[in-house]
A = this chain, B = another copy of it.
Amino acid sequence: MPKVKTLEDLFQAGLKDIFFAEKKILTALPKMAKAAINQDLRAAFEKHVAETEEQVSRLEQVFEEIEAKPQSKTCDAIMGIIAEGQEIMKDYKGSPALDNGLLASAQAVEHYEICQYGTLISWANELGLKESVRLLRQTLAEEEKTDKSLTALAEAVVNQEACSEPAGIESEEET
């Protein structure tokens, strides 16, 4: 009879999932930085590479606290989110709306991470994993900060770059 799975199993599975996701993000970010038109957006992606490396290292420390070897498990969610980002890079190459698409894609990544870290913190807390809670909270705070700065950038970019008058839409700007 198979062993009944516990919250600890779920925590460990979630950890492997986000470990995979962070490493996948590490390979996607330089491509997004290279594609970005706006210099501030490029700089934001480049800065996030260093942060992500640190986040991977924190996850390794969490694996240590539960006495497990750091392992990845394919995360279908992040694969899907990143695939959509790659499609945007291809479809909007040379378009002023490319940065808007890149920003949307980066924010989808951040929201996925924010959600996963929130869940892992709640489970780590329940499991009494004090050091893991501390480490995961540090990363969550960084992801939330990144998401906020992407929102600010998105507002700037949408106003500066993508304002070609769309066809078939009556402009109803508020005055």
Contacts and interface: CB of A to CB of B under 8 A. Distances in A.
28 contacts: A5-B91, A5-B97, A6-B97, A6-B162, A6-B164, A6-B166, A7-B158, A7-B162, A7-B163, A9-B97, A10-B92, A66-B168, A75-B84, A76-B79, A77-B81, A81-B112, A107-B118, A108-B112, A110-B115, A111-B114, A111-B115, A118-B151, A122-B155, A126-B158, A126-B163, A127-B166, A127-B169, A129-B172
Contact of A84 (B77, B83, B123, B151): B77
B164 A101 contact: no
Contact of A111 (B9, B76, B112, B128): B112
A104 interface: yes
Contacts of A163: 7, 126
Interface SS of A by simple majority: helix
Interface in A66-115: 66-67, 75-81, 83-84, 88, 91-92, 94-97, 100-101, 103-104, 107-108, 110-112, 114-115
Shortest beta-carbon contacts, A-B, top 3? A80-B80, A76-B80, A8-B166
A50 interface: no
A37 to B, nearest CB: 13
A31 interface: no
